[in-house]
């Protein structure tokens, strides 16, 4: 026997995309109830009748009815039939005209002030591969098969601790391998117990900021400096002072700036300008940190990719027991999607920060951590860095020659240290690097404007040009397109 409820369900059933019949019927009835097509107290079609109307088996209809009844959409009355539950709309707290979640999203006041401020400064690029994206390595030359073989070997004798929650701040084998590598390659003084494995640099910075700063505390950052640090400070309600950088690195202010809880620096390769912090400046910064009881957060950005001279040792290893939190990542040396970074903590901070990390973030990826430990110990990591250093050196030289030939040497950034994965293209004073970058981005040239890395009004105009993720033979054509945009817009 046909019924109005059956017709409503049949129409909704025909509009459902799912291939599974019971899922289609379930979704159809739910939508009818939630949209008001089947009102509270409406009698549902008998299962046999509905099965006939929809050409389904009765068992399918019964299965869906049982699920809907269990979830409170419908209820069965002895000898009377099955009905839409009287209070279903009240229980679901639905509004007839607009979903409350949608209404909330349309109202910006539902977001915190910290969130709104961060959204106003969001800087992550929506695309992360191509010419001339800065900070992205060449991911095609990584020996994926080697790492996969190691991972497959470990998976055949899988240890239970690789499959449960991580409560130790990372796999011990990786921390031991890292301690040996950092001691040799970067001059870092640490034991495996001081190392904490994180999901990249941002989690490390967020952990340090949350655990060592209260809302309203102050931090020093470099001017210009990495946008990610600023946004992490913003979301944690930490104030910051932008301290100028010169050819010797951050210039610690003599007086006038609030005492910082944290001092963020990139001493081995300043981001984004590229200067190297001098020995005297490092000693001065360590003295100020001890004097003000501050912690220095050393981001060892791009330290592995130095193309001339000797590697610059870490600030952390300059003296015994320095007040330095050393942060590194595998995103540039291996590939960003690996999402693995690390923090070398001063001994007094190691235990509490590992405990906080365990409670807040619940680290994982333990099998890949164990594989990476063997990758390092067997020498593949160091070999890969040597190979990529040579590759990036050639690409950098190609870009330098293109800039010199097509624009002139005065366009080369003055702080370049012949290191890292990007260069600064210095634009004439008064040029709008934001407009140039926007026009370049629309043509697939993923440059970034230098002015966006500044906080204060006095800004340099320039472009960050990454050279790591573009082949040498593709660089000339892409750069020529960029030059035409610059010439149209540069003052």
Residue 105 lies in a domain: no
325 and 183, same structural domain?
A: yes
| 328 and 390 fall within a common domain | no
Closest CA to 187 of 295, 292, 307, 279: 279
In a domain, 417, yes or no: yes
Q: Is residue 107 part of a domain?
A: no
Contact at 8 Å (CB) between 296 and 263?
Answer: yes
Do residue 367 and residue 408 come from a single domain? no
Residue ranges of the alpha helices (H) in 268-406? Answer: 279-292, 347-360, 366-377, 380-406
- Using an 8 Å Cβ cutoff, are 380 and 143 in contact? yes
389 and 369 co-located in one domain: no
End-to-end CA distance of the chain: 80
- C-alpha pair distances (Å), 469 with each of 123, 145, 446: 20, 20, 11
Distance CA 74, CA 40 (A): 9
Residue 152 maps to which CATH number?
A: 3.40.640.10
Q: Is residue 261 part of a domain?
A: yes
Question: What CATH number does residue 435 fall under?
Answer: 3.90.1150.10
Q: Which tokens belong to 360?
A: 């807040």
Residue span of the structural domain in which 328 resides: 142-379
- Rounded CA separation 436/448 (Å): 9
> Does 477 share its domain with 414?
yes
Cα–Cα distance measured from residue 120 to residue 129, given in angstroms and rounded to the nearest whole number: 24
Q: Do 369 and 212 touch, CB atoms closer than 8 A?
A: no
Q: Please give the pLDDT value at position 175.
A: 97
The pLDDT averaged over each successive group of 10 residues in the chain (491 residues) is 80 82 89 88 90 90 90 84 79 50 56 78 69 89 95 90 87 96 94 96 96 96 94 95 94 86 95 92 94 95 80 89 95 91 96 94 90 96 94 94 93 78 90 93 92 89 92 93 90 62
| In a shared domain, residues 213 and 343 | yes
Angle between helices 21-35 and 4-14 (to 10 degrees): 120
Final residue of a structural domain among 352, 379, 406: 379
In a 10 Å sphere around its CB, with 0-12 CB exposed, 13-18 middle and 19+ buried, how is residue 173 labelled? middle
Alpha-carbon distance of 94 to 99, in angstroms, equals 7
Please report whether residue 267 resides in a domain.
yes
For residue 344, give the 3-state DSSP assignment: strand
pLDDT at 418: 78
**∠359-363-367 over CA atoms, to 5°?**
155
The residues pairing with 242 across neighbouring beta strands, listed in sequence order, are 221
Q: Is the four-CA dihedral 23, 27, 28, 30 of positive or negative sign? A: positive
Number of domains in the chain: 3
Please tell me whether residues 40 and 180 are part of one structural domain: no
CB atoms within 10 A of CB 478: 21
User: What six digits make up the tokens of 313?
Assistant: 């040792």
Q: What is the CATH number of the domain that holds 25?
A: 1.10.10.10
Report the C-alpha gap between 74 and 83 in whole angstroms: 6
Same-domain pairing of 193 and 286: yes
Q: Looking at the structure, do residues 405 and 368 belong to the same domain, yes or no?
A: no
Of residues 342, 322, 303, 306, the one with CA closest to residue 186:
303
Let me know whether 17 and 82 are in one domain.
yes
Name the domain boundary from 333, 350, 379: 379
Asked whether residue 128 is domain-assigned, the answer is: no
Looking at the fold, whether 259 and 171 belong to one and the same domain comes out as: yes
- Based on the fold, state whether residues 44 and 152 are members of the same structural domain: no
Grouping H, G, I as helix, E, B as strand and the rest as coil, residue 306 is strand
* Among the listed residues 335, 313, 325, the one whose alpha carbon sits nearest the alpha carbon of residue 469: 335
**491 within 8 A of 430, measured Cβ to Cβ:** yes
The strand ranges marked E within 233-375 are 239-246, 249-250, 262-265, 295-299, 324-329, 341-344
Q: Report residue 400 as tokens.
A: 């330098």
Q: Residue 58: is it exposed, middle or buried by C-beta count within 10 angstroms (0-12/13-18/19+)?
A: middle
Residues 6+ apart with CB under 8 A from 105: none
- Give a yes or no: residue 103 inside a domain: no
* pLDDT at residue 106, rounded to an integer: 56
Residue 293: inside a domain, yes or no?
yes
Domain end among 93, 124, 150: 93
């Amino acid at each position: 026997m046909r019924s109005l409820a059956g017709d409503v369900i049949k129409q909704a059933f025909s509009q459902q995309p799912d291939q599974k019949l019971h899922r289609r019927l379930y979704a159809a009835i739910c939508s009818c109830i939630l949209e008001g097509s089947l009102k509270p107290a409406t009698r549902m079609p008998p299962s046999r009748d509905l099965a006939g109307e929809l050409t389904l088996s009765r068992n399918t209809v019964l299965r869906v009815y049982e699920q809907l009844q269990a979830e409170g959409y419908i209820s069965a009355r002895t000898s009377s039939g099955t009905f839409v539950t009287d209070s279903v709309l009240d229980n679901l707290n639905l509004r007839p005209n607009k979903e409350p979640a949608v209404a909330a999203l349309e109202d910006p006041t539902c977001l915190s002030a910290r969130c709104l401020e961060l959204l106003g400064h969001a800087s992550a690029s929506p695309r992360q591969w191509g010419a001339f994206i800065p900070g992205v390595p060449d991911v095609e030359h990584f020996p994926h098969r080697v790492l996969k073989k190691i991972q497959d070997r470990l998976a055949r004798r899988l240890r239970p601790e690789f499959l449960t929650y991580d409560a130790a701040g990372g796999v011990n084998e990786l921390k031991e391998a890292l301690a040996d590598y950092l001691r040799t390659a970067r001059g870092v003084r640490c034991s495996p117990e001081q190392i904490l494995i994180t999901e990249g640099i941002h989690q490390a910075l967020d952990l340090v900021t949350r655990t060592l700063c209260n809302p309203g505390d102050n931090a020093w950052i470099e001017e210009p400096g990495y946008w990610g640090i600023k946004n992490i400070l913003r979301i944690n309600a930490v104030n910051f002072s932008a301290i100028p950088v010169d050819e010797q690195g951050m210039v610690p202010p003599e007086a006038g700036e609030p005492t910082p809880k944290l001092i963020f620096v990139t001493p081995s390769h300043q981001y984004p300008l590229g200067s190297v912090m001098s020995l005297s400046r490092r000693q001065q910064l360590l003295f100020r940190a001890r004097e003000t009881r501050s912690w220095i957060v050393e981001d060892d950005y791009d330290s592995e990719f130095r193309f001339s001279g000797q590697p610059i040792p870490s600030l952390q290893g300059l003296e015994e027991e320095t007040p330095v939190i050393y942060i590194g990542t595998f995103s540039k040396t291996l590939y960003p999607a690996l999402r693995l970074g690390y923090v070398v903590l001063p001994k007094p901070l190691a235990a509490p920060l590992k405990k906080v990390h365990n409670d807040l973030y619940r680290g994982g990826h333990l099998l890949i951590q164990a594989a990476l430990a063997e990758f390092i110990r067997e020498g593949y990591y160091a070999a890969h860095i040597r190979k990529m250093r040579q590759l990036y050196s050639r690409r950098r030289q190609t870009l330098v020659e293109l800039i010199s030939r097509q624009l002139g040497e005065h366009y080369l950034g003055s702080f370049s240290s012949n290191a890292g994965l990007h260069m600064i293209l210095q634009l004439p004073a008064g040029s709008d690097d934001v407009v140039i970058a926007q026009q370049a981005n629309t043509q697939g040239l993923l440059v970034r404007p230098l002015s966006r890395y500044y906080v204060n009004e006095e800004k340099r105009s320039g472009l960050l040009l990454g050279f790591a993720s573009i082949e040498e033979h593709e660089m000339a054509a892409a750069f020529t397109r960029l030059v035409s945009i610059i010439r149209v817009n540069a003052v």
